[in-house]
Structure 1
Amino acid sequence: MMASSDKRPAPGGVAPTSEQPPGQAMSMSQHVIDKGGQMLQSLKPIKQMQQHVCTFALYSHDMSRQIETHNYVTRINQDFLQCAVYDSDGPNAHLIGVEYILSDRIFEDLPVDEQKLWHSHAYEIKAGLWVNPGVPEMVQKTELNNLTRTYGKFWCTWQTDRGDPLPLGAPALMVSPQGVNLGMVKPDLVKKRDDKYGIDSGRLKVSRMEIPEPEWINPRADYWKQTGKGFAIDIEPTTMKRMAPFP
């Protein structure tokens, strides 16, 4: 099953929607269980999310499809971040994927074929596309200096931009804007985001000119820039490996 840019009909012939997935409203007992969980459980992994980043991503197999993304970031250490990615910052946002972010130090040690799946972040930061909503620019500067030398791998598991009411099909590999050929973000998409947060990406770009460019961006990242090719995932039946019988 190869990823497609076409909208798929929802199950049961219902028109595609990106609002809410099909299903009945929550019952009172479910509300009680959820509130009890909030009160009694630690939810430690979620509480480690300390940053909200808003930026843009493009589908590796179809760069005409571009989305605004909201990354909720957990810092594991100086060289590794993990992000839960949503399609908005609202209370009913859809969890659409996961992104991992590595420093250049770790990236350089990855196998060559693995490096092809990652994208660099320098352009989207320098271009003012990557923002931490509500955080003053001066507060972000130190972090942005570090992030220009990082690489990300983003798998989208729920293509709400094409109207999928549920996570359907194979995951899609996403790439970062790079500002060349099809790697530009559509101006109306950027304007909509900027208007929502009261920011000006153009001014951010000017103010970020002082952020130093990385001395080296590995050319095996941003694979599409070098080859004009993206990645699409097929789902194929395969022979199952069975467990050996227990003694």
Structure 2
Amino acid sequence: MEPFIECLLYETEDPSAKLIGIEYIVAKTVTRNTEIVPMKVWKKVWHDHAEEIATGNVKVLDLPPDKAKEVADTVAKTDGIIFSLWPAGAKLPNGKVSMGQMVGHAAHSKSSKKD
């Protein structure tokens, strides 16, 4: 079965941290199919998790290191789309949802398509 994961994004690792976004994590075989996600859309709102995991910015909490590595290895074969719910620095959400991106996002092209 191909990965489809819903991930809650928090401001920090603190147990009382604000929920600031939701990320859908989807197998590249789905997101890189231009009949499902046109390349123009992918470049605008999706990002490659292999690149993101390589930065060291991804944290899998509440799992032993070996299980966290299994999750990271699975997620590396996916792309993500982030819905930001709480604007940075705001005291409260403003009701607007924005499309987040990872830092260092690089758009793929037909010549760089990955499985």
Whether TM-score is above 0.5 comes out as yes
Q: CA deviation at 1:218?
A: 6.8
Preserved contact between residue 121 and residue 176 of structure 1 (Cα < 8 Å): no
> Given the superposition, is the C-alpha separation of residues 79 and 91 from structure 1 closer, same or farther in structure 2, using an over 3 Å criterion?
closer
Residue in structure 1 matching 2:40, options 113, 131, 136 = 113
> What residue in structure 2 maps to residue 176 of structure 1?
102
> Given the superposition, is the C-alpha separation of residues 94 and 173 from structure 1 closer, same or farther in structure 2, using an over 3 Å criterion?
same
> What residue in structure 1 maps to residue 112 of structure 2?
none
CA distance in 2, matches of 1:169, 1:130: 27
CA-atom RMSD, angstroms? 2.5
Preserved contact between residue 119 and residue 153 of structure 1 (Cα < 8 Å): yes
**Counterpart amino acid of residue 84 in structure 1:** L
- Kindly, what percent of the aligned residue pairs are identical? 27
> What residue in structure 2 maps to residue 155 of structure 1?
83
Structure of greater Rg: 1
CA distance in 2, matches of 1:102, 1:168: 28
How many residue pairs match? The answer is 105
Q: CA deviation at 1:101?
A: 0.8
1:219 aligns with 2:105: no
Q: 5+ residue gaps in structure 1?
A: 1-76, 184-216, 221-247
Residue in structure 1 matching 2:91, options 140, 165, 172 = 165
What is the TM-score when the length of structure 2 is the normalising length? 0.72
What is the TM-score when the length of structure 1 is the normalising length? 0.37
> What residue in structure 2 maps to residue 21 of structure 1?
none
Q: 5+ residue gaps in structure 2?
A: 110-115
Q: Once the two structures are superposed, what CA deviation does each residue of 1:170-215 show, in whole Å capped at 9, x if it has no partner? A: 322211233xxxx6xxxxxxxxxxxxxxxxxxxxxxxxxxxxxxxx
